[in-house]
Amino acid sequence: MTRNLARTAAWPALLAFGLAGLLAAAGCSSGASSSSGSQPSWASALGSGVTVGTISVTPAKRAMLIPHSSGFTMAFPVTTKGISLTATVTVISFVRGTFGTQVTLTTAGLPFPAALAHHLVAVASSRG
């Protein structure tokens, strides 16, 4: 029962970081300020009973980056039915030649492994 409940609660988190990733990729920062205590404008799309906590944005870990890339990580708690998960969206961007590329990595619960992120970004860079 607990396992199914945790799985059911993970879906709003997955939807939340998907929306957050799209907002990050689009450059949208519409949301609640950390001092206001209100929900971000996009949180209503998650349905009733789902709350989004304070969103924090930090530079991506150096271990995730390849030379000449930059990135940021957005993290925020998503709570529904008494279960809370941390949704994390990491966006890494780089330019190779005349093309710009952006890799978006999303997780619910544990942060995305830095070594795997580095590998995926390196593969994306090599295929440009």
The pTM for the full model equals 0.69
DSSP letter for each residue of 80-112: ETTEEEEEEEEEEEEEETTEEEEEEEEEESSPP
Of 52 and 66, more confident: 66
Residue 85, class by beta-carbon neighbours within 10 Å (0-12 exposed, 13-18 middle, 19+ buried)?
buried
pLDDT of residue 27: 47
> What does the pLDDT look like over 60-93, one tens digit per residue?
999 999 998 999 999 989 888 888 889 899 999 9
102: how many CB neighbours lie within 10 A of its CB?
A: 13
Q: What pLDDT is recorded for position 118?
A: 96
